[in-house]
Structure 1
Amino acid sequence: MTLLPFLLAAIGGYLLGSIPFGLIITRAAGLGDIRKVGSGNIGATNVLRTGRKDLALATLLLDSFKAGLAVLLFSLLFESRNVGLIAGLAAFLGHCYPVWLGFKGGKGVATYAGLLVFASLKGLMIGAPVWFAMFLLFRISSLAALTAAALVPLGALLLGETEFAVGVLTALSVLVFWTHRSNLSRLLKGTEPKFGQKKKADETP
Structure 2
Amino acid sequence: MTHLRSTADAYDAVATLYAGMARDDLTSLPLDRAAFAEAARSAPGPVAELGCGPGPVTAHLRDLGLDVFGVDLSQSMIDLARAAYPDLRFAVGSMDALDLADGTLGGIVSWYSVIHAPPEDVPAYFAEFRRVLAAGGHLLVAFFESADGRVAAFDHKVTTAYRWPIDELAGLAGDAGFTEVGRVLREPLADERPLRRGHLLMRA
Q: TM-score, normalised by structure 2?
A: 0.29
Q: TM-score, normalised by structure 1?
A: 0.29
- Bigger proportion of residues as helix: 1
- Bigger proportion of residues as strand: 2
Q: Between Structure 1 and Structure 2, whose CA radius of gyration is higher?
A: 1
